[in-house]
Amino acid sequence: MTGTTLPGADYLAHDATGLSELVRRGEISPLELVETAIARIERMNPRVNAVIHRMDESARQAARAPLPEGPFRGVPLLLKDLIATVAGEPFRCGSRFLASYVAPHDSELVRRYRRAGFVLLGKTNTPEFGLTPFTEPALFGPTLNPWDPTRTAGGSSGGSAAAVACGMTPVATGGDGGGSIRIPASCCGLFGMKPTRGRTPTGPDFGEIWHGAVVEHVLCRSVRDSAAILDATAGPDPGAPYAAPEPARPFREEVGREPGRLRIAFTDHPWLGHEVDAECSAALRDTAHLLESLGHQVEEASPELDGRGFARAFLTMICGELRGDIEEAETVLGRRATAADFEPATWALGLLGRASSASAFARAIRSLQRTAREIAPFFDRYDVLLTPTVSRPPVPTGALQPLPAERLLLELLGGIGSGRLLRAAGVLERTADKVFDFIPWTPVINATGQPAMSVPLGWSREGLPLGMHFVGRYGDEATLYRLAAQLEVARPWANRWPAVAAA
């Protein structure tokens, strides 16, 4: 193939593994791939607002220079603008407070992406500090769903999901602290694996993030890309507080390997919310029938947990961690933060974190850890648990934001600076209830540290994606990858594209 770009149909026909094979065979150059991706960003991004910082010239320079002989040599990659730092490039985390901050070094995971041969192309949109399951930061504006621009792309890796769903790049990175890879994968019709806690590195700036709830990986279209990228990036870095169990073989070798007859439980009982849309329940039961047809033992069952207690503990943990983030940012920037530097809900959560006692924070962490202990025995009986990824099809943009009156109250109480008054008002609890109604399953699996994936197996009557959520035993991504590959063959999704991708 010749020319400065790859024809659109050819580019979309290949996943990252396929594009790297074209480079290896000399059929296309890394620079041609980069130019193709840049051209697609030029056309697609104004429609979805996925990419908020471009690195065109540095990507071109990297593509012209000798690249590492890694498994993804020459493939363009977009990075979520949260946790993943690139030396000399902005690192804003969706926040006005960090609007002028430039990262001093690459994060360890970014170094591994470079060693794998990826060419870094830009940064993608994220909600402020990655706090919400929708991507609507005041700093950059909302990311829109490529399947319906009136709907959410999910969050907090919504920018990455929208970019991949449009075919800007075949893969983009994400981080998952409460479902933030799986939720946007579901909303945008992608494959998204949350690896086991400690599987990918968090250094050099972090040991654990959100007490081990957060793990980074990618959103993509093929199971083999997810597995091969995890092979290229997994493993602890110096000073890591813990590491995931070593796999028996490379994850890429699990793709296509027979999963055997698995014991699979399924449930649409919402652990944290109150109700589940009928279309999500129907897609769940359709998936259960598909699994049965593939020879698996499938039955309805669910672990039991105190959903309200979990939600309260999870919110307490996030408030404390966020307050720490704000104060560390103050130190780095050399100035005090004010309410004007943040979105009202973010500032209010930080005030609650400041008002909370150390003992309340410790009790919340212990409560989350007890949840993991309570759920683990369930996986003595079952190999995999299946739920919908989210409780309903992608919601309209803005639907999960505080109501105007609630926002005004947050602004007023935030201006006063009283976490105690905010707690008494109960506004954040009502907002949190609305959010947990949308994501009643995913945050629990961040607390347990287990691997889980969203697989694009269902579609609503309006043609919107409905991801199915599979949870494996701690350390057992292998079973999930084997099962995902089997489902990818049984019900292919790679050739389903939103109309905007062909525009």
What is the per-residue pLDDT across 152-200, written as a single tens digit (0 to 9) for each?
999 999 999 999 999 999 999 999 999 999 999 999 999 999 999 999 9
Q: Which residues of 368-383 are buried (b: 16+ CB within 10 A; e: fewer)?
A: bbbbbeebeebbeebb
CB 208 within 8 A of CB 365: no
| DSSP-derived secondary structure for 1-43 | --SSS--HHHHHT--HHHHHHHHHTTSS-HHHHHHHHHHHHHH
Q: In whole angstroms, give the CA distance from residue 472 to residue 447.
A: 14
Q: Which residues of 415-452 are buried (b: 16+ CB within 10 A; e: fewer)?
A: eeebbeebbebebbeebbebbbbbbbbbbbbbbbbbbb
The amino acid occupying position 84 is A
Q: Residue with structure tokens 């039961």?
A: 285
Neighbours of 222 (CB within 10 A): 23
DSSP state of 181: T
Give the model's pLDDT for residue 427.
67
The two three-digit tokens of residue 288, written as one number: 């259960």
- pTM given for the model: 0.97
Residue of 20, 80, 107, 157 with catalytic role: 80
Give the model's pLDDT for residue 491.
98
Give the model's pLDDT for residue 425.
65
Neighbours of 359 (CB within 10 A): 8
Rounded to 5°, the CA angle 436-320-203 comes to: 100
Q: Does the annotation mark 80 as catalytic?
A: yes
CB 205 within 8 A of CB 103: no
Local confidence band at 413 (pLDDT 50, 70, 90 cut-offs)? confident
Q: In whole angstroms, give the CA distance from residue 443 to residue 449.
A: 10
Count Cα atoms within 13 angstroms, Cβ side, for 279: 15
Phi, psi of 78 (to 5 degrees): -100, 140
Give the model's pLDDT for residue 1.
37
Give the model's pLDDT for residue 4.
67
Give the model's pLDDT for residue 424.
62
DSSP state of 254: G
Residue 441 has pLDDT above 50, yes or no: yes
Give the model's pLDDT for residue 430.
77
What are the pLDDT digits (tens) for 7-41? 778 999 999 999 999 999 999 999 999 999 999 99
Residue 477 has pLDDT above 70, yes or no: yes
Q: In whole angstroms, give the CA distance from residue 111 to residue 76.
A: 15
What are the pLDDT digits (tens) for 277-328? 999 999 999 999 999 999 999 999 999 999 999 999 999 999 999 999 999 9
Residue of 95, 180, 186, 454 with catalytic role: 180
Q: Residue with structure tokens 């439980």?
A: 265
Of 394, 398, 403, the closest CA to residue 154 belongs to: 394
Q: Does the annotation mark 194 as catalytic?
A: no
Q: Is the peptide bond before 204 cis (omega within 30 degrees of 0)?
A: yes
Residue of 156, 157, 160, 391 with catalytic role: 156
Local confidence band at 100 (pLDDT 50, 70, 90 cut-offs)? very high
Residue 2 has pLDDT above 70, yes or no: no
- The stretch 66-86 carries a mean pLDDT of 98
